[in-house]
Structure 1
Amino acid sequence: MPLKRIYIFLFVLLVEVANLSATGNGVLKGFVFDKQTHVALAEVNVQIVGESGKTQTNRNGMFSIRVARNGIYKMSFSHLGYKTIVQAIATDSLNAEIYLESQSVNLSEVLVNAVKKSSPLNEITVEPSAWATSITNISADQIRKMGATSTLDALKYSMDGLPSTQGRRKKYYYLVRGQNMAADYSINGVSLSTNGAGPMAQWIEAPSMLPATMIESIEVVRSGNSLLLGFSGLNGVVNVKTKTFDKATTEAEASYGTFNSYRVGVLHGGKFQNFNYAFSIYNDKTDGPANRHSYENLWNIYGKIGYKYKKLLELNVENFYTYGTRFVTQAVDYQGLTLPMRQLADIWEYDPMRYNISTVRLKINEAKSASTELQMSYILNRMDLYPDMHLFTVDPVTKKSVVGDSIIRNHMLNEPDTVLTLAAFQAVQPFANNYLRVAAMYASSANYTHGKSKRAIYSLAVLDQHSFGRTDIHAGVKVIREYYNYYVPNQGFGDESRAIQNQSQPVLVNFSTGVSYRRNSRLTYNVVLNSGELPVDNSSLQLYDDGSVGKLKQEQRIGLDLGLQYKPETGANIEFTLFGIRQNNASEYTTRSYYDEDGLIRYYERNINLSTLGLEGSYQSPVFADRWSGFANLSYKQVYQSQSSAYKKYTKQPPFIGNIGVSYAHKGLEINIMGKYVSKYTTDRFLQKEVDIGNYFNWDLTTNYKIAHTCLEAFGSIINMLDSHYCTVSPIYPDFGRQMKIGLRTKF
């Protein structure tokens, strides 16, 4: 295969170039930080493995060791209360950044918890210890190796996750454990309540577009019920943690690739006295594949400022703004099964598209045993939507659809949609090893363009956790109630004369309890039990098997996670999670359509009962031979639908999702190969009948090369190397296929 030979040739060539020897004296230098707080660590022991050269970091976390020759050295970093790590550092590195992770240390058989980040007094929305094996953590280094440019890109290889893109309506969304609803989002623990936005929820994609260059890590809560994050937390939560800079840092990059795509941008952050700040601006433009109506030209602007007054007060304000043009990708016919056929003619355009996300966090440490945090988020979604379409007809003889060249211009929509959230958290330590958290949360959404509604969400959560030496337990409850100020039926698109006004919805109650047992410093067992309820669209109709019609019922859900985490002396990390989910009255769309009282076409839904049993496993390797590292995560689940005391397999979720990655780094060259496999499953979205999708491999290749004696780095990538036109939602929206790019970046 010619393409395969080209890949092999490029790989061998790059390795040989990187093996050119370096001569002369050199210096190994850098900074060591706490991985969670990003505070510089003093008195960290730094030593070259196998050699006598060693030192300690100063009060600014800085280290410097002079060596006899240039090259890459294996270095050990150790500090009481932190995990010892070994990392390869090159003498041509400007200033290496090392991040140490806190850990519990065993002193005279007494476990002393040195993990500052796990204290609710320090991080008020942190999940209890038992959740550790139900959470996926994606670091900035992993994001860089993927070549990700946005949050959604960074989620591509996450455990049991399925990031999806599609042209119709919401372009980006992320599903965990095969659930039918997208995960909630939060930024630095500030919930955005996107899934609590009613009809607008499917249009809120701004969090997935956050620039990857500003992300320090991503925390994916795979299991519900997260009591302190998200609208309900039952569908999983993606918590994006942004970077904070302790010294002046500037990054810039430019790249060009397939479909006449380019990306240019700059980032700068730093610290001035008690203030820290960050700012970035990036422009992404692409023509998209020919005849798919996929042009985009978006500007992403991000700003962050923080203020800290001693240990008493912390204030952080962030703002993310997107402005530009996006064409909604045109659907393609699939075996004549597209439903409705008319959507093949849709060529919607957002021009301009405007997203804005603002978050504010004010943390007050009023006492050693108490802290308060006030939060606010505001999302403004204002887009000039042109719902245009090509002239559409149906051939009277062949009965096939005919999409003409002429364009029908429709009325432009440009009213704003907004989501506002307010929250107050109180954390107290009433006695040793016990933490009690209480949260009052409020969200309101006002939707106009994408369905008319205005509603409020009130919730109250209480979470208590206690440590008994090696064992941690937690229990909590969250109560949610929605209030419709104004809600138009048909998800906001119906007749306003029949709008629901000033009506409270049923109270939703969610529970969570769990136990974590640390057998020793390397082995931990976790158990988490969750239950809760999900809201339902009151205007949706259910189609029963006998042809009769009724209202949808409210979904009830219960879940159990059994987790194991093992950290061998080699520095690897191994996790397994066995999980079960029972969903009563889950909802799904049928292929049967009807005209409602407003004359609009809709699809019947139906309630189904699902039972899921699954196993998740992950492995993160240490660095081998100073060059090689890798990861793998796999998930397998069986989903059964119960009907009249009988069970049958539910095929609309992929049973198996596997991700794997291998990285090679030597003398300034880094090569990363990552792959994703999704097993076969079925779909009937936008189709007349159910068809098979999935069963695809996706392989990506990224390379980075640091140019010696400069602050420049060349990089390139081949995404979807095998040119697989797979789909994740419906075959009328297939992937764009293989995409390549090359670029140059700098950091100083």
Structure 2
Amino acid sequence: MAERYYWFRTRQKQQIMQIESSLCVRANFYNSILMKNCFLFISATILACFIVIPSYSQQLYTIRGNVFNEENNEPVINANIVVVKTKIGTSTNEGGDFELSLRSGEYKIKITSVGFSTKEIKINIPLENNELVEIGLQPKKQEIESVDVYGNFILQERDTAINMVPLSVLPAITKVSAVDIEKQGAVTLTDALKYVPGGWTETRGRKSKQFFSVRGQKYPYPDYSIDGVWQKEFEETAYALSAFDIESVEIIRSSNALVKGLSGLTGVIEVKTRKPKRETASLLTKYGESNNYVANLQYGNKINDISFNTALAFFGTTGIPDRGGKERVTNFHGNMNWEISRRMTLVTGVTAITGMREFIGIIEPGSPKILNREEKFDPLHTWITYAKLNYRGNKGTQTELQTNFSFRDANYENYNIQQETTTTHHDKDWEYGFNLLHSRFIGHSNTFSIGTLYSHWVAPDGKRYYAGRRCDVNTWSGVIADEQKFGRILLDAGFRLIGGYINEWGGFGIEGSAAGFQDVPSITNESAPIEWQSAFGLNVVQSPVSSIHYNFSGGTVAPRKGSVTAQGTTPQNEGRMQHNLGLRIKSQNIEEITISTFFTQRKNALDLSGETAFSENDIIVELYENKDKRSYGIELAAQMNIPIIHSSVFGNTTFMKNEKVSDNKMVDDKKLPNVILNGGFMYEHSGVDANLFIHYTGPYFNNRFVDPKWTNENGDYPLGDFVKVDFNCGYTFSGKIKTRIFMEVKNLLNKKYETVAGYPDQGRLFLMGVKLDY
């Protein structure tokens, strides 16, 4: 529309110039005649003025500009643009771009944004060659925890990376900041996700496995990315990754961000690491019962155009008496952000994890075969590296090349108590990948993105469940996405296609009986099943504080490689459709209130059948099944500040109905909870802070790992239906080095709850610590 307007005005100007030229010619012609008739000459001149001058005086010119952060060249979102001594103004969009329509002349423009120094510039209209006005703002040299800017019809903060999520998805994103992580006392990445709306963590004795999902959507579980770089096979790393170097975690619950990774239908968890703007250093230590200890040392700085951060963390425990769970883990993370030029940035990162992890033992009525085993990873090694080179061209164009390499090697030991024998296996695998992304503005209100991804994953000796069976798989994918703004309406759509090639796959059985996994021939030189994913989003801004959002995502989900049914076959691809509709309110007094409804339809959904089998080396194998499912519900979330009592509160509730097909009709799916509640109260004043967190998971049932004799006598095994309360408090001494001494109480009510059968929580845990910040 802006281009048509500009063309119309330009055409109008040309017509006016033609009229002026014509009038001048006619004036010369009439000159000799008008010498005889002055009255006629004066009348014609006055008439020309009435025709030309009003038309010219109303000529408007559309100018385009871009506002960016002078320190990191990132767009400044929602910056206020005001033409001094007029009522004309606007604000920048998600790419830092803006437009103004002005008549010819000289103007002074004032640019302001919270957290940046005010800037004024002079421009002369019309601009030569319709050039882009580029304006750099200098960040204010002061510390602020978080800033929300409210502009004209643009309420959302957004990820300014090239693989940004659509604006319509923002109401369905939960952000956990570094401040939140510290107040919660989180140690690992999985710990940091405890209070996400609809979030559900199933813990099989924390030292074995912790799986996080949203709204009961699992198999597969959500994908992960670090600083925008997608990670494959990351589930085994999330509950060992230190939370102390994390700036924020964004959980995309609507599963509509196709450009974030390959798991666009099951959600994406985006981890953003710390990137300091000045020299910072911190030291944290805490110690508690069962010899639980945590120590973290962090240092970062910004020198000229390079900023970097390093963090070293240690955590461990002697475990639970008579149940094991001893743990010793060391984490190192380092990252660098190099502004090569105003248009080019290089980001690199490396994470190294090493240590040992002893599995917490199952208790009755757990499966007898599991009761007979003592398992551990000793030693455990993980290495993750990534790099991305971003080039920002004219008019918001961005191109980014991402690369990553990960290596995991865990020595798995399984001690059979009855036979007094030990079996070992190296759980080794590695992966590397490339991701090329490009986005550009098509017009002033349309953003188009395209990308291609390649990943190669190898487990040379198989994994623990299929030891000795080599796996070598290539994956490639292409994605296109588009986002369009029509005034207060934002639309987005996208499509991703996923394919691959199996060089060799020996995981589990693909055909024949599940009892003979080792005898099933490997798959070699075969194309992987094709998957597709699509998305559509709509966001309608009702007022400066509220918006309505709708998201749809649909496509196919391939079963995780190695999945096998009781018949020894590979499960079918799942077809999934998801709908989200809701309202978001956000203002300076209300941090955020969202009300969302959701509906998910799953055809041939992949789920654990409840049955298990044992391979020849006595390793348990979980069997899957395809079954139609659906879930629907409502989600409420609110965050508010209460300045009068120096406090903030948050609360979120997810009510959902879960159903599956049984005997050709839909019945309740009792394996999923129907309600998940979270709440928190945080107080801070005069150096004193106190933080209370509450979590409730409703009841559900699951017979996985349960002795069949128990279920035959008692029925389905009950899980969930528990309230967990965490509390911590402290006092901070101000000064050049801020010092906080604190106390934490985990599971204040001492509930021995279970999220997986046979693995109850250890109960109440006291810790004390100190944190120094420079």
Instruction: Calculate the TM-score normalised by the size of structure 2.
Output: 0.77
Secondary structure in structure 2 of the residue aligned to 1:495:
helix
CA distance in 2, matches of 1:415, 1:681: 32
Counterpart pick for 1:101 among 147, 163, 170: 147
Is contact 1:81–1:105 with CA below 8 Å preserved after alignment? no
Counterpart pick for 2:451 among 439, 464, 468: 439
Judged with a 3 Å threshold, the aligned counterparts in structure 2 of structure 1 residues 667 and 40 are, in CA distance, closer, same or farther, namely farther
Q: Does 1:241 align with 2:272?
A: yes
Counterpart pick for 2:668 among 632, 644, 649: 649
CA distance in 1, matches of 2:592, 2:348: 34
Counterpart pick for 1:527 among 506, 525, 550: 550
Judged with a 3 Å threshold, the aligned counterparts in structure 2 of structure 1 residues 695 and 211 are, in CA distance, closer, same or farther, namely same
CA distance in 1, matches of 2:723, 2:618: 43
Secondary structure in structure 1 of the residue aligned to 2:408:
strand
Counterpart pick for 1:583 among 574, 581, 602: 602
Judged with a 3 Å threshold, the aligned counterparts in structure 2 of structure 1 residues 663 and 369 are, in CA distance, closer, same or farther, namely closer
Secondary structure in structure 2 of the residue aligned to 1:235:
coil
Secondary structure in structure 1 of the residue aligned to 2:186:
coil
Q: Does 1:481 align with 2:504?
A: no
Report what 1:147 is aligned to: 185
Counterpart pick for 1:408 among 421, 427, 448: 421
Report what 1:735 is aligned to: 761
Report what 1:131 is aligned to: 169
Secondary structure in structure 2 of the residue aligned to 1:342:
helix
Is contact 1:81–1:114 with CA below 8 Å preserved after alignment? no
Instruction: Calculate the TM-score normalised by the size of structure 1.
Output: 0.79
Is contact 2:509–2:568 with CA below 8 Å preserved after alignment? no
Alpha-carbon deviation of 1:708?
4.9
CA distance in 1, matches of 2:226, 2:338: 18
Residue by residue, what CA displacement relative to the aligned partner does 1:405-464 show, whole Å, maximum 9, x if unpaired? xx4222x32252112221000111121111110010111211134133110111100000
Matches within 5 A, 1:86-97: 97=143
Judged with a 3 Å threshold, the aligned counterparts in structure 2 of structure 1 residues 596 and 537 are, in CA distance, closer, same or farther, namely farther
Is contact 2:610–2:702 with CA below 8 Å preserved after alignment? no
Counterpart pick for 1:696 among 695, 700, 722: 722
Is contact 1:206–1:357 with CA below 8 Å preserved after alignment? no
Report what 2:63 is aligned to: none
Is contact 1:542–1:550 with CA below 8 Å preserved after alignment? yes
Q: Does 1:348 align with 2:367?
A: no
**Matched residue type, 2:179:** D
CA distance in 2, matches of 1:429, 1:488: 46
Is contact 1:186–1:237 with CA below 8 Å preserved after alignment? yes
Matches within 5 A, 1:557-706: 557-568=576-587, 570-593=589-612, 602=621, 604-643=623-662, 646-687=665-706, 688=708, 689=711, 690-706=716-732
Alpha-carbon deviation of 1:638?
0.2
Is contact 2:659–2:669 with CA below 8 Å preserved after alignment? yes
CA distance in 2, matches of 1:114, 1:232: 27
Is contact 2:156–2:167 with CA below 8 Å preserved after alignment? no
**Matched residue type, 1:579:** F
Alpha-carbon deviation of 1:532?
1.2
Counterpart pick for 1:308 among 330, 335, 339: 339
Counterpart pick for 1:220 among 228, 248, 251: 251
Alpha-carbon deviation of 1:695?
0.5
Is contact 2:611–2:704 with CA below 8 Å preserved after alignment? no
Is contact 1:37–1:117 with CA below 8 Å preserved after alignment? no
Residue by residue, what CA displacement relative to the aligned partner does 1:548-598 show, whole Å, maximum 9, x if unpaired? 886532211000000210124523310111000001111222344557899
Judged with a 3 Å threshold, the aligned counterparts in structure 2 of structure 1 residues 612 and 498 are, in CA distance, closer, same or farther, namely same
**Matched residue type, 2:196:** S
CA distance in 2, matches of 1:127, 1:640: 30
CA distance in 2, matches of 1:306, 1:156: 30
**Matched residue type, 1:583:** R
CA distance in 2, matches of 1:131, 1:672: 30
Secondary structure in structure 2 of the residue aligned to 1:681:
strand
Secondary structure in structure 2 of the residue aligned to 1:148:
coil
Judged with a 3 Å threshold, the aligned counterparts in structure 2 of structure 1 residues 81 and 102 are, in CA distance, closer, same or farther, namely farther
Judged with a 3 Å threshold, the aligned counterparts in structure 2 of structure 1 residues 698 and 594 are, in CA distance, closer, same or farther, namely closer
Report what 1:30 is aligned to: none
CA distance in 2, matches of 1:604, 1:206: 23
CA distance in 1, matches of 2:444, 2:474: 38
Judged with a 3 Å threshold, the aligned counterparts in structure 2 of structure 1 residues 551 and 254 are, in CA distance, closer, same or farther, namely closer
**Matched residue type, 2:223:** D
CA distance in 1, matches of 2:561, 2:390: 39
Is contact 2:156–2:170 with CA below 8 Å preserved after alignment? no
Secondary structure in structure 2 of the residue aligned to 1:614:
strand
Alpha-carbon deviation of 1:507?
1.2
CA distance in 2, matches of 1:314, 1:234: 30
Counterpart pick for 2:390 among 337, 350, 363: 363
CA distance in 1, matches of 2:614, 2:144: 61
Matches within 5 A, 1:49-88: 80-82=112-114
Secondary structure in structure 2 of the residue aligned to 1:143:
helix
CA distance in 1, matches of 2:394, 2:764: 56
Secondary structure in structure 1 of the residue aligned to 2:389:
strand
Identical-residue share of aligned pairs (%): 23
**Matched residue type, 1:138:** V
Alpha-carbon deviation of 1:153?
1.1
CA distance in 2, matches of 1:496, 1:644: 34
Report what 1:464 is aligned to: 482
Report what 1:178 is aligned to: 216
Secondary structure in structure 2 of the residue aligned to 1:98:
coil
**Mind listing any 5+ residue stretches in structure 1 that lack a counterpart?**
1-32, 46-78, 85-94, 195-200, 393-406
CA distance in 1, matches of 2:422, 2:570: 36
Alpha-carbon deviation of 1:601?
6.6
Secondary structure in structure 1 of the residue aligned to 2:171:
helix
Counterpart pick for 1:207 among 238, 244, 251: 238
Alpha-carbon deviation of 1:211?
2.2
CA distance in 2, matches of 1:280, 1:418: 24
Counterpart pick for 1:422 among 406, 423, 434: 434
Secondary structure in structure 2 of the residue aligned to 1:311:
coil
CA distance in 2, matches of 1:486, 1:133: 42
Secondary structure in structure 2 of the residue aligned to 1:416:
strand
CA distance in 1, matches of 2:588, 2:596: 21
**Matched residue type, 1:160:** G
Secondary structure in structure 1 of the residue aligned to 2:393:
strand
**Matched residue type, 1:216:** E
**Matched residue type, 1:220:** I
CA distance in 2, matches of 1:240, 1:579: 25
Is contact 1:225–1:531 with CA below 8 Å preserved after alignment? no
CA RMSD across the alignment: 3.0
Judged with a 3 Å threshold, the aligned counterparts in structure 2 of structure 1 residues 494 and 321 are, in CA distance, closer, same or farther, namely same
Alpha-carbon deviation of 1:725?
1.1
**Matched residue type, 1:140:** A
Judged with a 3 Å threshold, the aligned counterparts in structure 2 of structure 1 residues 145 and 164 are, in CA distance, closer, same or farther, namely same
Report what 2:529 is aligned to: 506
CA distance in 2, matches of 1:693, 1:125: 39
Alpha-carbon deviation of 1:729?
2.2
Secondary structure in structure 1 of the residue aligned to 2:190:
helix
Alpha-carbon deviation of 1:309?
2.1
Q: Which has the larger radius of gyration?
A: 2
**Matched residue type, 2:211:** Y
Judged with a 3 Å threshold, the aligned counterparts in structure 2 of structure 1 residues 168 and 82 are, in CA distance, closer, same or farther, namely closer
Residue by residue, what CA displacement relative to the aligned partner does 1:580-627 show, whole Å, maximum 9, x if unpaired? 000111122234455789998755432211111111111101133151
